[in-house]
Amino acid sequence: MHKLTIHSAGEELTVNVPEGAILIDVVRSNGFEIYAPCGGKGKCGKCKVYVKDEGNVTSCLYTIEKDIEIVLPEPAEAKILSAQYEYSRSLPLSPGRSSRLSDSPFGVAIDLGTTTLAFYFISLKTGSLLATTTVLNPQSKYGADVISRINYCITVSEGLNTLQSELIDSINMQLAHFTAKPDVKPDDIVKISVCGNTTMLHILLGKNPESLAFVPFTPVFTEEKMLKASELNLYCNPEGEVKVMPSLSAYIGADIVAGIASLAPAPDHRNFLFIDVGTNGEVALVTDNRIWCCATAAGPAFEGANIEHGMGALQGAISFYYGPGNFKTIGDAEPVGICGSGLIDVVACILGSGYVSSDGYMEENFVVVPSGRSATGADISISPKDIREIQLAKSAIASGINILLRRAGLAVNDIDALYLAGGFGNYIRIESAEAIGLIPSGLSGKVIPVGNTSGTGAMLAVRSVLFDRVIGDFLGRMISFELSGDEDFPLQFAINMEFPDRNTNLRGLLI
């Protein structure tokens, strides 16, 4: 027997469970509900549960083999998972010829994020999502954003080789972890699809990204690349297929192309915005005939970088902040720092209290968690410099939205929905995003968080060759604009640096 400790909405329950029990069954038998729209068949991957010291797992496929502690999703998180399932494209299982390389074939979808790498392990016999893991991008120590990484490739001898090796080693570590299971061998992994921004894909394939940093921002390649796993020295079947998904331009990468293509928007969502609020901050405006795209220099602030007490969405990160002494951390752990969603909540709250002016002026640090309550033994705070980083990031995205609307001849009122992508979008409180001016006023009731659509697109590519045609159709409609060449961008950026004026709605965030 093993001990299972369940944390849910401030409650804690410890029960004894037999060896090999399925996690979702045990949780449900003890009176808790887990969202599983595929009926617990392992196909949708939405029955996520946070296992301490392991991360998020697919609970309908997780067997209990030791004492564990889990944290169940909050109701708001469950609603997000429901939206992700409802608005994700579904295709029949058709993995292609590579699945014949093994009697028990598996595929891996990889999202190469600038900050985080996400891995999705899939059975090519059933289409089931067997495991999901996320790790920090090991390249982060060489620079928080893609420009820093490109500069490293330019200025450091063997810099490109170093960054490529870091990626390959990290991927192989996850492949080795998955194939350590008794019923999986390295030769059984026969198909890998990879999404990511254009810079990350260049580095993965050892292509010099220098041209991405200078006008006219010309990529070495944007088309889909097909390789054998042996060409990248990956720890899997050497004849396995590695599909690197196509990009559109230097700063509209495969993560955005595949992400938009992975959506199944509601029939009445004819004009909609798609925003991936990550390190690069890509924005797309989808209409019947065209998809207008731009990338904004949002920087890594929303992923915790360049913020004094910022961190990624890891255990102990403050992910929600409702006012002094009232916050939530990932994994219900003692607070260590603040991730992007918590940062936006904090700024919205202190705007509402008058601690920060609309121009971003703040006299002194704002203490989010005093030293006595933090895991570090020191205050967790927001500094005036942090406020400026947030202003720069949110202005870049807001300006990109405004310019795309102008290009398409549309107004905010013409937008039927805003699909908010990226892991960050899973946790962001929409009212806080509107309060700081990250998204336009009037869209808050139309926002649909859809999670890591880049990962969803990569999974569709693993499961079905039919997704190739979908990708081709979308690429034919996409138009990319460089904001740096738009005459209105400097003025828009300056205007959007301001925070919205304080009002009763902002004050209402302090609960």
Report pLDDT digits (tens) over 238-257.
999 999 999 999 989 999 99
Is 211:172 a contact under the CB 8 Å cutoff? no
The separation between the first and the last C-alpha atoms of the chain, rounded to the nearest angstrom, is: 42
pLDDT per residue of the chain (511 residues) written in tens, 0 to 9: 899 998 886 678 899 989 888 888 888 888 887 767 666 667 666 777 888 877 778 888 888 889 988 888 765 555 555 556 678 898 999 999 999 999 999 999 999 988 888 899 999 999 988 888 888 889 988 887 888 899 999 999 999 999 999 999 999 999 999 998 888 999 999 999 999 999 999 999 999 999 998 888 899 999 999 999 999 999 999 999 999 999 999 989 999 999 999 999 989 999 999 998 766 788 999 998 899 999 887 666 777 667 888 887 777 888 889 988 899 888 778 899 998 889 999 999 998 888 889 889 998 999 999 998 988 899 999 999 999 988 988 898 899 999 999 989 999 999 999 998 876 666 788 889 899 998 888 887 898 888 889 999 999 999 999 999 999 999 999 999 888 778 888 888 899 999 987 543 443 343 3
Burial of 141 (C-beta count, 10 Å sphere; 0-12/13-18/19+): exposed
Residues 56 and 114 both lie in one domain: no
**Cα 91 from chain centroid (whole Å):** 22
- Do 160 and 224 fall within a single domain? yes
Residue in this structure with the two tokens 């795309």, named with its chain if needed = 404
For 309, the enclosing helix (H) or strand (E) is none
Enclosing domain of residue 192:
97-255
d(CA 178, CA 63): 15
Which DSSP string do the residues of 84-139 spell out, in sequence order? HHHTB-----B--GGGGG-SS-EEEEEEE-SSEEEEEEEETTT--EEEEEEEE-GG
Residues 28 and 148 in one domain: no
Say what the pTM is: 0.81
3-state helix, strand, coil in the chain (%, to 5): 35, 25, 40
For 445-491, the pLDDT digits (tens) are 898 888 889 999 999 999 999 999 999 999 999 999 888 778 888 88
What CATH code is carried by the domain that includes residue 37? 3.10.20.740
Does residue 232 sit within a domain? yes
| Amino acid occupying residue 88 | S
Q: Around Cβ 299, how many Cβ atoms within 10 Å?
A: 20
Are 57 and 184 found together in one domain?
Answer: no
Kindly give, in sequence order, each residue whose CB lies less than 8 Å from that of residue 506, ignoring residues fewer than 6 positions away: 348, 351, 352, 435, 500
Residue pair 338/310 in contact by the 8 Å Cβ criterion: yes
Residue 147 and residue 48 share a domain: no
Residue 293 lies in a domain: no
Cα–Cα separations (whole angstroms), residue 270 to 156, 291, 402, 415 = 47, 11, 18, 8
CATH number of the domain within which 237 lies: 3.30.420.480
Identify the domain boundary among 39, 73, 107: 73
| Backbone region of residue 357 per phi and psi (left: phi > 0; alpha: psi in -120 to 50; beta: other values) | beta
pLDDT tens readout for residues 263-321: 999 899 999 999 987 667 889 999 988 999 998 876 667 776 678 888 877 778 888 89
Which residues is 373 bridged to in the sheet? none
Same domain, 117 and 240: yes
Question: How many domains is the chain partitioned into structurally?
Answer: 2
Q: Annotate 16-38 with b (16+ C-beta within 10 A) or e (fewer).
A: ebeeebbbbebbeeeebebbbeb
Helices (H), 380-478: 384-408, 423-427, 430-435, 453-463, 467-475
Same-domain check for residues 108 and 64: no
